[in-house]
Structure 1
Amino acid sequence: MNEEYTEKHQKLSLGDKFKFSCHKGLTCFNSCCSDINIFLTPYDVLRMRKALKMSSGEFLKRYTVALLGDEGLPLVVLRMMEDENKSCPFVAQDGCGIYEDRPWSCRMYPIFQVPSEEERFWIEERPSCLGFNEERQWTIEGWKKAQGINIFDKMNESYKATTFHDYFEKGNRLDSGKAKLFYMACYNLDEFRGFLFKTKFFDIYDVDNGVIEKIREDEEELLNFGYRWIRFNLLQEDTLKPKDKVLDKLLQSGREQ
């Protein structure tokens, strides 16, 4: 392969340094935002649709495509525009229209995390990306802080713990019904809130009143409760307790079989 078109890969740890800067003065500005698969975490969807002042259902229908992973886990991908470049719907000539609430993967670029190693990362230096020719120097840790990654990492901890759960390591798979429940609790938070507050959910499960009020008003708390409910209802963990002690014993007995 011609060296001019060869991509350079670097494997880095948190303290390692790299050079990169993206700005309007580069002729390639915005080009990395086209013809790319951007997988959205539940927290990405929460931030993006709040920035756009849209309901979760409206945002998901208009801007995303839902897929199924190998374990039956729902995956949500940003729907790109149907133009020649398959452009991101939020990017204009001046840049990202939801920059303060852009997804985790957009914030991390040009850094990619090594899946099997928490503190290891890699960079793919593409010749077409002129940002690597800039003199601004970063450590991985400094880049993550500057890009506001920490809150995303914190909110994604429960998502990772759920999707990499032992339940799936043992070969289990979500059927279509459970996949729909997972999708609702993680992504369609308006529907999930209705499920909680418009049914007898809190008459059945023993949930502290303070928690109930938090998830009524705070969507981040609602999302975290969604993970808690998924781990109870789908992954057979004791993250919730029914008020009916007989029902609780029956559930425990069923899980021990």
Structure 2
Amino acid sequence: MKFDNIKMFFQSLTESIKDGHSKARSNGLYKKLGMFLLGTIGIFLTIFFLIKMATYLFETITEFIQIHFFGVAATALGGIWLRLTYLEKRDKKKTEEQERALAKDRVKLKFSHGSFEKVRKFLFTQVLNESNFESLTGLYRPLNPAELGSPSTGSYIKDGLIFHQFRIPKTCLDDINVSLLNSVIQSIIDQKISVYGIFGIISPTHTNRSDILMISDISDMKTHVILTTVLSFNGEYSEQAAYDRAMIDSLNINTVERSLDDYDYHDNE
């Protein structure tokens, strides 16, 4: 009886193995297992090969450095020196550019303060003094130019342009149509520049369209308005005026020298 049971167990086990083998073959399990094993072996061999190559490369580099130590050291120092030299030149160039920019800004700021006086005088004597200015704008000219503002507080530079701010009193506390006011004042400015120019800045006969004085903004402050003008200026008129003055001075000096040169004095020698 026991022998029959053992025999039946092994027969059942054999059939199960055959059935599992048949199912594995039908599902491609052996093929998948084989691919997995081959992939694992490939990855292992690749890692092993890379480790061997890295080790060989490291040993080769170490051996080369040991043999050519002074040459490698000199090359490394030379590379470091070139890098430091490049960085030093770059920093020096950057510093010089910043210094030039600051110097240019200082010149512009100095001109900005000087031009404020000229623009203020132009507004006070030509624009605000217009006969119908008060009725057209609802603003009036103050008693003296200083009330319009000062260059220390009303002059600044932005994006290479020169801005001036002027304080102009209102005739009443009513709100002002800023757009209309801008148009009226700009029209008067353009008309006066075309006739009189702005002394020391823009000639009345200037042909350069970049030499202009424009209204940038008008702010209604109830008792007064803040008029902000922007001056786009390339300096041609001032340069020409400076050249003309230099030529006049030179001619005056030559005239004085000639007047001091007395030919009668030489004839009597």
Please, what TM-score do these two structures have when normalized by structure 1? 0.19
Which structure carries more helix by proportion? 2
Q: Whose Rg is larger?
A: 2
Please, what TM-score do these two structures have when normalized by structure 2? 0.18
Higher relative CO (CA 8 A, sep ≥ 6), structure 1 or 2? 1
